Amino acid sequence: MAEVHIIGQILKAVDFAEPHLYCKWCLQSGNAWRLVQGEVQGQSPVASHRLQNCSDFVQPLDIHLSSAAIQGWPRLLVEVYAVNVLQQSWPVGYGFAHIPTTPGAHRLEIATWKVAPSGWWQSLRERFGGGGAALSKTDLLFSGVERYKLQTLTSGKVIVDLKLIFRRFEDYGVEFK
């Protein structure tokens, strides 16, 4: 079985409007992929910066997967939530990126989107009432099936730094160059 090691960090989130953010992430892969060691989901602490408008999550990633097929290449899903003074949290960014398909060091920038408020009441609630709309079915994040009903706004970016180590792919004839 071929093996993939993903070692890295979810570094920071930039260009978001809210200062206090935390990030919930999970790694999904197809049926032919098995998790050998590591955790495929996590949540970072709430982070803010004293001077700039970014949030340093520095969430370490260390995952060991073994695969029997190339279909279902793993992808990293990221949901960024904002927290206000009353400790209420709401999502301000959804995004995903496929894990790169070549070994080595990579820096991914995941562009995120959030659900657009659909009227003036929704936008008022977003500013003062502890949050706007959220997705009820989060599998819309990675499937393209029912997205045409959704209205979204562009949100900030999440920067992820990954180093990938592959093993035994060439025994099965898989090439990366």
Partner 1 sequence: MSTSEGISLPGNQDPTPPREKHKQKPKRGRKKSKAPKQTRCAANTMDAKTTASYFSVCITGQIVSATFPLGPDKEFVFLRYELVAGPDWQLASGPQHGLTQLATNRSGHFNEPIVFNMPIEVTYKSTSPFGWPQILVSVFGRNGSQGRETLLGYAHVHLPVFGSRRPAENLELVQTPILMPKCPSMLADITSWLLRREPELKDPKVLLDNLKCKGLSMESYGSLEFQLTTVMRGARKLGYHWHA
Applying CB under 8 A, the residues found at the interface with partner 1 are 5, 7-9, 12, 20, 36-39, 41-51, 55-56, 58-62, 64, 102-105, 163-169, 176-177
Sign (positive/negative) of CA torsion 134, 139, 142, 146?
A: negative
Closest separation in Å from C-beta 28 to partner 1: 15
Tokens of 163: 């180093």
User: What is the Cα–Cα distance from 9 to 39, expressed in whole angstroms?
Assistant: 13
Residue type, 80: V
For partner 1, give the closer residue by CB, 38 or 117: 38
Closest separation in Å from C-beta 157 to partner 1: 16
Alpha-carbon dihedral 90, 45, 158, 16, rounded to 10 degrees: 50
R_g (Cα) of the chain, nearest Å: 18
Cβ proximity of 133 and 122 under 8 Å: yes
Closest separation in Å from C-beta 96 to partner 1: 18
For partner 1, give the closer residue by CB, 48 or 138: 48
Strands, E, within 71-151: which ranges?
Answer: 75-83, 89-98, 104-115
For partner 1, give the closer residue by CB, 75 or 163: 163
Vertex 89, ends 13 and 29: CA angle to 5°?
Answer: 60
Residue 120's SS3 state is helix
Closest separation in Å from C-beta 35 to partner 1: 11
Closest separation in Å from C-beta 105 to partner 1: 4
For partner 1, give the closer residue by CB, 61 or 77: 61
For partner 1, give the closer residue by CB, 103 or 117: 103
